[in-house]
Amino acid sequence: MRSLHRYFWLYLLALSGLWLATDATPWSTAPNFFAWRAVLMQYGGVLAMGVMSAAMVLAARPAAVEPQLGGLDKMYRLHKWLGIAALVISVSHWLLAKAPKWMVGWGWLQRPARGPRPELLDAPVQQFFQSQRGWAEGVGEWAFYGALVLMVLALVQRFPYRYFFKTHHLMAVAYLALVAHSVFLLRFEDWTGLLGPAMAALMAAGTVSAVLVLRGRVGAGRTVRGQVAALRQHPALDVLEVDVQCGGRWPGHVPGQFAFLTLHEGEGHHPYTIASAWNGQGTITFIIKALGDYTRTLKDRLRVGDAVRVEGPYGRFTFDGPCRRQIWVGAGIGITPFIARLQALAAAPDGRAIDLFHPTSVYDEQAIGLLARDAEAAGVPLHVLWSERDGLLDAQRLVAAVPDWENADIWFCGPAPFGAALKKGLVALGMPESRFHQEVFQMR
């Protein structure tokens, strides 16, 4: 996660540096508040469009960027941070535009007299840009209001996913309107400096991404159609196991990766970890926990033969760390990537020494039996910790069970707070943070 923080702040610093290198305003001689306001509004506009453009590009799930950021889960985390930054900067930009006008109306400020406009070079082009400012301001204001509502909804976790999936696409419309706003309101002379080409490239990339989103083409090159081949229920765990037979050419996957699965068009796609090793036969398995309104209905709605779409694979939770010793922790439904890896190791051992811990609040004898069978076939010792019987797993308990833990890297999948607590405990005992691998499995 530290690398994500670096990418985020370096990006903001790069945008700020480009703006500083281009803006020739003599800061020390700004005559009044309104002169400072004009400078800060330009800076805020550049930052806002820069972060929104990057967020829009990441929304298109570019395959080339995923390895650099450490997986799609990290890419979406950065997308979220950029969205929050865009929200804060845009609100500040809007307040700079509106608040002085309110204060002039209230008699708190006095607007300075406007001086003559400077002579323009290449007047026809610049006059055209100047003539478009009025409608561009209006479009930008209404686009801001729409984007503000959509960004707030995206941050409200109680807003149902099926509605979030549909409404968040409208961000692309707001973004395109804000591109038009920015083209005409960025100072004309800035287009010819260092800043102009960079902003043009960012907004062009964002525009292409927005069009892909609106046309429903995101991930189109990584999507195959298929059908439900088998269903298995585990009532005690509130889990549904779904086998999908891909009708198209599935490229294959590495254990630990996930895919977006569309089971009902009206609900949109949902990310699920793939719970089977790739066998080249086109069949992949998903284990779906009934966690929300939609997933709770699947056991009644889904039938063998139903048409589905699968997009992927995504993710870098692929067990390829440098250590020859590994410790796996699959908590609850987080056991799914480890099942896929166990199956792969049973077919092709990699020589690593591995211990698998499975903390669970519900003990299902059938499911544990299947997990134990896969672990035995892969030669991996299995530690099942039923919280009611065995208590909770923490860092002290883990290192006591694995004496050579200092030579291992940790692969964790499960509830985020549990992962954070376990990582904190292990780091306190001397484990380097880089050896703790965890997927940030939050898509909003």
Percent of the chain with pLDDT over 70: 94
- Tens digit of pLDDT for each residue in 168-183? 889 999 999 999 999 9
Q: Residue 191, exposed/middle/buried by CB under 10 A (0-12, 13-18, 19+)?
A: middle
Q: Which DSSP helix (H) or strand (E) runs through 29?
A: none
Instruction: Give the C-alpha separation, 133 to 135, whole Å.
Output: 6
Inter-residue contact 358 to 384 (CB < 8 Å): yes
Distances (CA, A) of 137 to 133, 144, 150, 406: 6, 10, 20, 59
Q: Mean pLDDT across the chain, nearest whole number?
A: 89
Beta strands in 180-257 (DSSP E): 223-234, 239-246
Please provide the DSSP assignment of 251-281 as one string.
----TT-EEEEESSGGG--EEEEB-S---SS
Residue closest to 419 by CA, chosen among 315, 329, 320: 329
Residue closest to 1 by CA, chosen among 52, 70, 67: 70
pLDDT score for 180: 94
Residue type (1 letter), 197:
P
- Tell me what the mean pLDDT of segment 194-202 comes to: 93
Q: To which residue do tokens 């969205």 refer?
A: 83
Crossing angle of helices 171-185 and 33-59, in 10° steps, is: 140
Inter-residue contact 47 to 4 (CB < 8 Å): no
User: Which of the two residues, 286 and 161, has the higher pLDDT score?
Assistant: 286
- Tens digit of pLDDT for each residue in 315-357? 889 998 889 999 999 998 999 999 999 999 999 999 999 999 9
- pLDDT class for 34, splitting at 50, 70, 90? confident
User: Which of the two residues, 225 and 155, has the higher pLDDT score?
Assistant: 225
pLDDT score for 30: 61
| Cα dihedral 205, 209, 212, 218 sign | positive
Q: Would you say residue 162 has pLDDT above 80?
A: no
Q: Would you say residue 290 has pLDDT above 90?
A: no
How does 11-20 read in b/e, with b if 16+ C-beta sit within 10 Å? bbeebeebbe
Cα of first residue to Cα of last residue in the chain, in angstroms, is 17
User: Which of the two residues, 120 and 248, has the higher pLDDT score?
Assistant: 248
Q: Would you say residue 26 has pLDDT above 70?
A: no
| Cα dihedral 114, 119, 123, 126 sign | negative
Q: Is 21 helix (H, G, I), strand (E, B) or coil?
A: helix
Residue closest to 45 by CA, chosen among 22, 77, 71, 72: 22
Q: Give the pTM.
A: 0.85
Inter-residue contact 362 to 236 (CB < 8 Å): yes
Domains of the chain are 2-214 (1.20.120), 222-314 (2.40.30.10), 325-438 (3.40.50.80)
Instruction: Give the C-alpha separation, 19 to 89, whole Å.
Output: 15
- pLDDT class for 392, splitting at 50, 70, 90? very high
- Tell me what the mean pLDDT of segment 44-57 comes to: 96
Inter-residue contact 401 to 355 (CB < 8 Å): yes
- pLDDT class for 63, splitting at 50, 70, 90? confident
- pLDDT class for 301, splitting at 50, 70, 90? very high
pLDDT score for 221: 84
Q: Would you say residue 114 has pLDDT above 80?
A: no
User: Which of the two residues, 127 and 187, has the higher pLDDT score?
Assistant: 187
Q: Would you say residue 431 has pLDDT above 80?
A: yes
Q: Which DSSP helix (H) or strand (E) runs through 283?
A: strand 283-289
- pLDDT class for 423, splitting at 50, 70, 90? very high
- Tens digit of pLDDT for each residue in 98-113? 888 888 888 888 877 6
Alpha-helix residue ranges (DSSP H) falling in 307-409 = 336-347, 365-378, 387-390, 395-401
Q: Would you say residue 372 has pLDDT above 80?
A: yes
Percent of the chain with pLDDT over 90: 59
Q: Are strands 408-413 and 436-438 parallel, antiparallel or unpaired?
A: parallel
Q: Would you say residue 258 has pLDDT above 90?
A: yes
Of 61-70, 148-157, 376-385, the range with the highest mean pLDDT is 376-385
- Tens digit of pLDDT for each residue in 125-160? 777 777 777 888 899 899 999 999 998 888 887 788
Q: To which residue do tokens 């209230």 refer?
A: 106
Distances (CA, A) of 301 to 293, 306, 374, 375: 13, 10, 30, 32
- pLDDT class for 375, splitting at 50, 70, 90? very high
